[in-house]
């Protein structure tokens, strides 16, 4: 059915799931007009602020996002915060539908004593700092720890372990933030301990990522052969799991590798849970309880044995998963830290009723799991629902829903929004600065400086 005016859709959050949603809408709907908002001036979310600076290949996905943003019916509006610069009421008034794609910007605590001590922080913060997220520009001004505990066995834990173990020469070919490079130049790190509460067969990292830990110029890899014993239940659980089998092969190789006397050591430890962070006024050690594995019907649990070890460390990075944050006035499931939904259709409560015109995709829909590409199918599912519910209607003229009205509103409020062309200008400045130093880019890490750099 032909429409008298385009269906207006706001997407809140210009990370991978936002871009995939915009692409699906632009591709699958004949008459649509999409505004893709981000609270930061820069697009791409975790591709810019989450993916490790030495993993440039993964970042090449932005070439596809660039094409999406340059479609006629898609408009990027950066530096516009939902709830501050544009409210829930504005969005309901000026759009037919909204898709929330804000990811999971917070993290989970360990829930153990000593977490308030300086020197204990989340990997989320550490990653945001070294990737130049404007909120974390001045977050860390020295890394004087000789020993660091990284809690968790996922790919984020591997990323922070690798960045801490790499030499500055290895890092200064990446797009790591200049402020992080400056601090890490004087790093005193000798030992990084990556600590998993369960065994090698339950580690969440992928093979390519763990293999890289054995290829560092500046760090030996240490895995205790005794901790590589795989119990019967674990063996059975990985029978049809080639990734985990490969992981175990790689880890077993590490456990047999002789030390080469490099400056630093990456120590991978299994079957140990942190029970206390210890220290007088700052982190001085972490107390670990040795675990054994106990299988239940569909899960292999870690159970404490009552045997403890105190590991002297001066920095603790917990890497036990991201956590979604509620948006002002938007439905939220506190327990799962997601926006409650049915295949991307926002519900008023978990298992509740649909709220018309609201959708969700990405980590804030399903929780913080999966790689960038996982979001493509996830966003497509959401857009499919949106089209089924709203894609066919013949829309009456509505002055509030004219695309220029939103720009007028932002101007009236004095919001210095960033267009995609302005982002491309910033992108060029960063990549040119990078070229001069043999790096992919030198990031601007301050919103004020970004706005000055792109001012016409
Ligand atoms: P993750 O893969 O879910 O790993 C979280 C880790 O924390 C698990 O090892 C988990 O152990 C552990 N953990 C949870 N609670 C704990 C506790 N109380 N005490 C001790 N350990 C605890 O999460 P992530 O590393 O944050 O990664 C998020 C997603 O991003 C993943 O899908 C990941 O693959 C992806 N990612 C991909 C890349 C890449 O492709 N290169 C890079 C970064 C991130 P249990 O298994 O025992 O719960």
Length of the chain: 456
For residue 273 and ligand 1, the question of a CB distance below 6 A is answered with yes
Q: Please report which residue ranges of 186-228 form alpha helices under DSSP H.
A: 207-212
Interior CA angle at 71 toward 66 and 74, to 5°? Answer: 95
Euclidean distance between CA atoms 194 and 268, whole angstroms:
5
Domain 107-321, CATH number (from 3.50.50.60, 3.40.50.300, 3.40.50.620, 3.60.20.10): 3.50.50.60
For residue 316 and ligand 1, the question of a CB distance below 6 A is answered with no
Q: Please report which residue ranges of 139-280 form alpha helices under DSSP H.
A: 155-165, 168-171, 178-185, 207-212, 232-237, 242-256
We find that the CATH architecture of domain 7-105+324-418 is: 3-Layer(aba) Sandwich (3.40)
**Ligand 1 center from residue 346 Cα (angstroms):** 26
**Ligand 1 center from residue 107 Cα (angstroms):** 11
**Could you read off the pLDDT of 77-133 as tens digits, one per residue?**
999 999 999 999 999 999 999 999 999 999 999 999 999 999 999 999 999 999 999
Residue nearest to atom 18 of ligand 1 (CA): 110
- pLDDT at residue 395 greater than cutoff 60: yes
Tokens of 185: 């130049």
Task: Determine the pLDDT at residue 1.
Answer: 46
Euclidean distance between CA atoms 24 and 383, whole angstroms:
7
Task: Determine the pLDDT at residue 393.
Answer: 72
CB 33 within 8 A of CB 403: yes
- Look up the pTM and report it: 0.96
Q: Which of 206, 241, 321 to mutate to test the pocket of ligand 1 (most atoms within 8 A of CB)?
A: 321
Residue nearest to atom 33 of ligand 1 (CA): 155
- pLDDT at residue 374 greater than cutoff 60: yes
For residue 149 and ligand 1, the question of a CB distance below 6 A is answered with no
Task: Determine the pLDDT at residue 229.
Answer: 84
Interior CA angle at 258 toward 257 and 263, to 5°? Answer: 110
Q: Which helix (H) or strand (E) holds 452?
A: helix 447-454
Mean pLDDT of the chain: 96
Tokens of 153: 């066995």
CB 378 within 8 A of CB 366: yes
Q: How sure is the predictor about 432, in pLDDT bands with cuts at 50, 70 and 90?
A: very high
Domain boundary assignment for the chain: 7-105+324-418, 107-321
């Amino acid at each position: 059915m032909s429409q008298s005016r385009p269906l207006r859709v706001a997407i809140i959050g210009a990370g991978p799931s936002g871009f995939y949603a915009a692409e699906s809408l632009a591709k699958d709907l004949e008459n649509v007009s999409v505004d893709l908002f981000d609270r930061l001036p820069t697009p791409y979310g975790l591709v810019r602020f989450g993916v490790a600076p030495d993993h440039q290949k993964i970042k090449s996905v932005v070439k596809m996002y660039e094409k999406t943003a340059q479609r006629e019916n898609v408009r990027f509006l950066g530096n516009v915060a939902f709830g501050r610069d544009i409210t829930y009421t504005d969005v309901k008034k000026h759009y037919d539908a909204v898709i929330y794609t804000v990811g999971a910007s917070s993290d989970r605590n360990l829930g153990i004593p000593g977490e308030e001590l300086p020197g204990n922080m989340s990997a989320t913060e550490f990653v945001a700092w070294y990737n130049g997220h404007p909120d974390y520009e001045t977050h860390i001004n020295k890394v004087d720890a000789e020993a660091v505990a990284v809690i968790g066995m996922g790919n984020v834990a591997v990323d922070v372990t690798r960045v801490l173990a790499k030499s500055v020469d290895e890092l200064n070919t990446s797009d790591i933030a200049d402020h992080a490079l400056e601090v890490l130049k004087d790093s005193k790190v000798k030992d990084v301990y990556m600590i998993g509460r369960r065994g090698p067969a339950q580690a969440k990292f992928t093979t390519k990522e763990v293999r890289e830990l054995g290829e560092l110029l500046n760090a030996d890899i240490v895995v205790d052969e005794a901790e590589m014993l795989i119990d019967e239940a674990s063996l059975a659980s990985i029978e049809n799991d080639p990734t985990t089998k490969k992981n175990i092969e790689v880890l077993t190789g590490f456990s047999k590798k002789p030390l080469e006397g490099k400056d630093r050591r990456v120590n991978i430890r299994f079957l140990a849970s942190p029970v206390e962070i210890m220290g007088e006024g700052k982190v001085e050690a972490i107390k670990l309880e040795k675990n054994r594995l106990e299988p239940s019907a569909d899960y292999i649990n870690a159970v404490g044995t009552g045997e403890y070890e105190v590991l002297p460390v001066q920095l603790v990075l917990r890497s036990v998963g991201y956590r979604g944050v509620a948006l002002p006035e938007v439905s939220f499931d506190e327990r799962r830290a997601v926006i409650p939904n049915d295949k991307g259709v926002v519900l008023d409560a978990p298992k509740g009723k649909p709220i018309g015109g609201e959708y969700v995709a990405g980590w804030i829909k399903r929780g913080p799991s999966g790689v960038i590409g996982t979001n493509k199918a996830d966003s497509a599912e959401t857009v499919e629902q949106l089209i089924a519910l709203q894609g066919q209607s013949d829309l009456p003229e509505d002055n509030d829903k004219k695309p220029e009205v939103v720009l007028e509103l932002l101007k009236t409020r004095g919001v210095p929004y960033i267009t995609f062309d302005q982002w491309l200008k910033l992108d060029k400045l960063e990549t040119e600065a990078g070229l001069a130093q043999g790096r992919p880019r030198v990031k601007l890490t301050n919103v004020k400086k970004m706005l000055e750099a792109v001012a016409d």
